[in-house]
A and B are shown apart, each in its own frame.
Chain A
Amino acid sequence: MLTHKKTNVEKLAENLGNEPIAGRSLWRDAMHRFSRNKAAMAGLVVLGLIVLFAAIGPFVAAWHYSDIDWSLMGNAASAGQPSIANGHYFGIDDLGRDLFARTVQGSQISLLVGTIGALIAVVIGTLYGATAGYFGGRVDSIMMRTVDILMSIPYMFFLILLLVMFGRSILLIFIGIGAISWLEMARIVRGQTLSIKNKEYIEAAIASGVRPFKIVLRHVVPNLLGVVIVYATLLVPQMILTESFISFLGLGVQEPQTSWGALINDGAGTMRYGTLWQLMFPLGFFIATLLSFFFVGDGLRDALDPKDR
C-alpha cells in the first residue's frame, strides 16, 4: 500500500513539470463571481424558463394561435376564463382565439426582436466603434460625426414612417431597429477603445509588427467585450420595449401574428369588460423578462468589473 502510494506521488512529481497547467482566465473568474450573485442567477433562470416557454409552447398548446374557438366567441367575459378543461390555459382573447398559443407566439416575436436587435448592435457597433477609436484622427472624426447625424434623426418617427410607407412587416421592424440600435453602442465602444489603445500591450503589439486591423480584433475587442456584453443585456429589453411601443400604436407585427406589445394593447382595450387575464398574462411575461434582463445585466457588470461596484 505504502509503496503504491509512493509511486503515485512520484508520478505526480514527474508530471508536474510537463503537463501544461490550465490557467484561470478573467472570463472564468467573472463567471464565478456571477454565479454567486443571487438576483442575477434568478434572472437567468427566469429568462431560461421564458425562452423554454417560447420554444416548446407550440407543442403544449391545444389550439393554434390563429384559430377561433367558435363555441366561445362573443362571450369571452363569461366563458373565456383560463381553464384546463377546454384547453384555453390562459383563457381566450376578445375574438375567441386561444391566449396561451398567442402568448407563446408573441414571446417568440418579442424575444427575437430583442436578441436580433441587440446582436446587430453588438456586431456593427463594436467593430465600428473600435475601428473609429483605434485609428483616431480624421477617420474617427468622419465615422463619429456620421453617427451623430444618424442619431439626430428622431428614430421613432423614422420607424413609423418606414412602416407606413412599406407596409407592416416583421422584417422591416428588424431592419429599422437594427439600423438604430448600433449607434449608441458604437459611441460606448469608441470611448472604451480610446482608453485601451494607450495601454502598453497595444504598444507591444505595434512594436512586434502586428497589423492594425488584427490589433483591433485580437487586443482591443476582447478587452472591451465586458462593457459590450453588459450593454447588450440592457439593450435587449430596450429593443423589446421599442417593438412593444410600435405594436401598441398598432404599427407592429401583422395579424394574426402578435407580440407582447400587441397583446398588451388588446388586453388594455378590453380591461373594463371583466377580462383582466387578457392583459395580465402578456404583461406578466413582459415585466418578468425586462426585470430579468436588468438583473442579469447588473450582475454581469458587477462580475466583469469587480473594481467598479
Chain B
Amino acid sequence: MTEHTQADTLASPTRTREKLLSVRDLKVYFDIFPKGAMPWTKPRKLKAVNGVSFDLYEGETLGVVGESGCGKSTLARAVIRMLPVEGGEVVWLGQDLAPLKDKAMRNHRKDIQMIFQDPLASLNPRMTIGQIIAEPLETHYPDLSRAEVKERVAEMMKTVGLLPNQINRYPHEFSGGQCQRIGIARALVLKPKMIICDEPVSALDVSIQAQVINLLMSLQKKMGLSLIFIAHDLSVVKHISTRIMVLYLGNVMEVADSADIYRQPRHPYTQALISAVPIPDPKIERNKEVILIEGDLPSPINPPSGCVFRTRCPRAEAKCAEQKPELIFAQGTHQVACHFHD
C-alpha cells in the first residue's frame, strides 16, 4: 500500500495531463489441474500477472516489453476484463473496472478498444470488411441508420488508408498489412480513448511494420489516443512509446521514460534486454558487449522466492531470495524493482 501512495504523489507533479488508467497491484492467476485430477482436487495457481501497477496518461503511449510468457498479453486482457482478475484495481477514469459485471463492463468497452496480433485471424472470415468495421458501431449505437453507419465506415476506411470501394470484400482478399489496417479501423470507429495493441506488428513484414506503426502514431496525434503497446521488439517499442514498462514473469522490473530507459537502464534484466538489440551498423554491432542471461524463464506455477529474476541475475545475493524488491523511484519518474539497481 505504501507504494500506492508513493506512485500517486511522485508521478503526478511532473505530468499535467489527465490520468486515464491506473492499475494497482493487478493479479491474474490461472487454475492448473494436474493430469488425472479428481473434480475435488484443488488446482494449482499459475501466477501469470502478479501484482502489476502502472498509470496511463492521456495521449501517451506505454510500451510493454518482456520475453514470451512474461504475462504481457495476459496483462492487457485483464485490463479490459477479458480474463477474470484475481485481485487488485483497474481504475478507469475514477471507476474501478475489476469488480464490474460483464453487463456493466460492456458500456465501458466503447472507450477501450484492442488491436490484435494476427491480423487475419482477428477478422471473421465470413463477414465483409464493411460488416466487420460496422459491428462496434451497431453494438453501441443501435439507433444509427444504415446510411450513417456506412458513411462512418467509409470515412474510417479512408482514415486508415483503405479505399472505401473495398467495403464489400472479405478478409482473405487482403494482405496482412491491409488486414491490420482493417483491425485498426474497427478499433477506432467508436472514437475510443485508449487502445491496447497486443503485438500489432509482430506478424508483419518489416516494411509493413513501419507503415502500420506510423499510421498508429499519426492517428494517435490526430485523435488524442492513449496506447498500451505490447511488443517484444525493442526497437519498435522505442520508436512509438513515451514510457516503457519491462515485465518479467508477471512482475514489473522497470518503468521509465522511453529515452531514459534506453540511455540508462537500471535493472540488470533491462540492461541485458537492451544490450541484445541489434544495431544496424556491422562495425558497432561486432564490438558491442552483449550481456547474456543464462537459463530459462522459471515456471510461473512455482516462481522463485523474493525477486523473481534472481535465478538468472548476475548480481543476485542472499537478500534477493529473502525479500521481494518493491518498485521504487530511482530518479525522477524512473521506477525500478531491484535491491542493487544502478
Which residues of A pack against B, CB within 8 Å? 16-27, 199-201, 203-211, 214, 218-219, 222-223
Contacts and interface: CB of A to CB of B under 8 A. Distances in A.
Given A26-B125, A223-B124, A204 B186 contact: yes
21 contacts: A17-B163, A19-B165, A23-B168, A23-B170, A23-B173, A200-B116, A200-B122, A201-B121, A204-B116, A207-B82, A207-B112, A207-B113, A208-B186, A208-B187, A209-B136, A209-B140, A214-B139, A218-B135, A222-B124, A222-B127, A223-B125
Contacts of B155: none
Contacts of B117: 200
Given A25-B126, A204-B183, A208-B109, A18 B170 contact: no
Contact of B122 (A18, A27, A201, A209): A201
A23 B114 contact: no
A210 B124 CA distance: 14
B123 A23 contact: no
Contacts of A208: 109-110, 113, 135-136, 139, 186-187, 190
A209 B106 contact: yes
A212 to B, nearest CB: 8
B123 A201 contact: yes
Main DSSP-derived SS at the A contact region: helix
Nearest to A27: B126
Nearest to A202: B124
B153 to A, nearest CB: 11
Nearest to A208: B136
A116 to B, nearest CB: 27
Nearest to B167: A20
Interface in B132-172: 135-136, 139-140, 163-170, 172
Contact of A205 (B121, B135, B165, B169): B135
A24 B166 CA distance: 11
Interface residues of B, number: 38
Interface in B219-242: none
Contacts of B116: 200, 203-204
A204 B110 contact: no
Nearest to A223: B126
B9 to A, nearest CB: 33
Main DSSP-derived SS at the B contact region: loop
Q: Most B CB atoms within 10 A — which of A200, A214, A218, A223? A: A200
A71 to B, nearest CB: 61
Contact of A24 (B106, B122, B170): B170
B333 interface: no
A222 B126 CA distance: 7
A21 B168 contact: yes
B74 interface: no
B135 A210 contact: yes
B118 interface: yes
A205 B168 CA distance: 19
Contact of B139 (A17, A20, A23, A210): A210
A280 to B, nearest CB: 45
Given A208-B113, A210-B139, 17 more contacts: A16-B165, A17-B163, A20-B165, A20-B166, A21-B169, A24-B173, A26-B170, A201-B124, A201-B125, A204-B114, A204-B116, A204-B122, A206-B82, A208-B109, A208-B135, A211-B106, A211-B139
Contacts of B127: 218, 222
B80 interface: yes
B140 to A, nearest CB: 6
Contacts of B183: 204
Contacts of A206: 82
A25 B127 CA distance: 8
A207 B78 CA distance: 11
A26 B113 contact: no
A25 B125 CA distance: 8
B128 interface: yes
Q: Most B CB atoms within 10 A — which of A26, A209, A210? A: A209
Nearest to A214: B139
B115 to A, nearest CB: 9
Contacts of B121: 199-201
A209 B123 contact: no
B161 to A, nearest CB: 14
A207 B114 contact: yes
Contacts of A210: 135-136, 139
B239 to A, nearest CB: 25
Q: Most B CB atoms within 10 A — which of A18, A19, A23, A223? A: A23
Q: Most A CB atoms within 10 A — which of B114, B124, B125, B165? A: B124
Contacts of A204: 114, 116, 122-123, 183, 186
B114 to A, nearest CB: 4
A28 to B, nearest CB: 9
A172 to B, nearest CB: 38
A16 B163 CA distance: 10
Contacts of A24: 169-170, 173
A210 B135 CA distance: 8
A209 to B, nearest CB: 3
Given A209-B140, A223-B126, A200 B168 contact: no
A291 B127 CA distance: 34
B137 to A, nearest CB: 9
Contacts of B107: 209
A214 B125 CA distance: 17
A59 B22 CA distance: 77
A199 B124 CA distance: 9
Sort A-B residue pairs by CB-CB distance and give the 8 closest, nearest first.
Answer: A209-B109, A23-B169, A200-B122, A208-B136, A222-B126, A200-B121, A201-B124, A207-B114
Contact of A200 (B118, B128, B139): B118
Q: Most B CB atoms within 10 A — which of A19, A26, A208, A210? A: A208
A12 to B, nearest CB: 13
Contacts of A201: 121-125
